[in-house]
């Protein structure tokens, strides 16, 4: 038995090969899989669940089908929102059969309590992003956005994505996690293991805190012919990137 973790696939219609790669990953998850956790940014952007079964998401239908088939196989799928697909809602979860998680949650991984997060809230040095995040996660702002036509939302999402890419290039040093924020999150959750994505800097970080061994595992983003995943079973931990 094993539990799998992925994040930051950034699937979109302009990369059909990446969509196919994601579908193959879902299809070939072993039968002994306990669960699959998607820790955010499954999509490059998500403009609302009302885009399901419309031409705007037709290129992603194979991914939706892959998620449905996992449920049919008895493999539960859990999803945390990322900074790209934060407006994904219960209608999508019902349609694909996955379970939505809060932005931070502790699960028991074969005897080790583990904190799961997308990871963006740990990047506290990026003050501009954190301020924008407060607005984007505001239910009133989200409802106002959803009241716009789908095409207008897509254009807004593309503009936000372009601005984000410029910001990351200008502020490379502040888009990684803040170690103090990491420690605070782990202490608050009372865990020695943290698993997250977002930064696109896959690694297994080990450090001591009050003589206690702590582990922070960062999932990688996906590229064609280079999927990134974490597999944990009762004895082993494998980070692929």
Say if residue 118 carries a ligand binding annotation. Answer: yes
Q: Burial-class residue 161 by CB neighbours within 10 Å (0-12, 13-18, 19+).
A: middle
Say if residue 81 carries a ligand binding annotation. Answer: no
Q: Burial-class residue 159 by CB neighbours within 10 Å (0-12, 13-18, 19+).
A: exposed
Q: Which helix (H) or strand (E) holds 148?
A: none
Say if residue 156 carries a ligand binding annotation. Answer: no
Say if residue 41 carries a ligand binding annotation. Answer: yes
Say if residue 153 carries a ligand binding annotation. Answer: no
- Alpha helices per DSSP H over the chain: 16-27, 61-72, 90-96, 127-136, 139-146, 150-170, 179-189
**Mind giving me the DSSP string for 195-218?**
EE-SSS--EEEEEEETTEEEEEEE
Sheet of strand 33-38, all strands in order from the earlier edge strand to the far edge: 99-100, 77-79, 33-38, 2-6, 229-233, 237-240
3-state secondary structure of 87: coil
Say if residue 233 carries a ligand binding annotation. Answer: no
Q: How far is CA 110 from the centre of its chain?
A: 22
Taking 3-state DSSP, the helix, strand and coil percentages for the chain, each rounded to the nearest 5, stand at 40, 25, 35
Say if residue 170 carries a ligand binding annotation. Answer: yes
Q: How far is CA 127 from the centre of its chain?
A: 21
Say if residue 104 carries a ligand binding annotation. Answer: no
Say if residue 198 carries a ligand binding annotation. Answer: yes
Annotated binding site: 8, 10, 41, 83-84, 118, 126, 164, 170, 198, 200
Annotated binding-site residues for substrate read: 83-84, 126, 164, 170, 198
Annotated binding residues for Mn(2+), written as ranges, equal 8, 10, 41, 83, 118, 198, 200
């Amino acid at each position: 038995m094993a539990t799998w973790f992925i994040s930051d696939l950034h699937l979109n219609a302009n990369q059909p090969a990446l969509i196919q790669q994601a579908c193959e990953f879902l299809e070939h998850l072993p039968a002994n899989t306990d669960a699959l956790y998607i820790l955010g940014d499954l999509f490059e952007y998500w403009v609302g669940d009302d885009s399901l079964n419309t031409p705007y998401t037709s290129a992603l239908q194979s991914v939706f089908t892959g998620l449905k088939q996992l449920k049919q196989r008895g493999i539960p799928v859990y999803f945390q929102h990322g900074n790209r697909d934060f407006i994904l809602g219960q209608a999508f979860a019902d349609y694909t059969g996955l379970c939505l998680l809060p932005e931070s949650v502790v699960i028991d991984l074969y005897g080790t309590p583990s904190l799961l997060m997308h990871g963006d809230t740990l990047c506290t040095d990026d003050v501009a992003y954190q301020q924008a995040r407060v607005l984007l996660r505001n239910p009133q702002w989200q409802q106002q956005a959803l009241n716009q036509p789908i095409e207008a939302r897509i254009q807004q999402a593309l503009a936000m994505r372009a601005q984000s890419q410029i910001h990351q290039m200008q502020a490379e040093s502040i888009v990684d996690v803040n170690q103090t924020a990491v420690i605070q999150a782990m202490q608050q959750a009372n865990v020695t293991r943290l698993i997250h994505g977002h930064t696109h800097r896959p690694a297994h970080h080990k450090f001591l805190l009050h003589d206690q061994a702590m582990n922070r595992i960062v999932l990688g983003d996906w590229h064609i012919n280079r999927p990134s995943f974490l597999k944990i079973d009762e004895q082993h931990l494998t980070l692929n990137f």
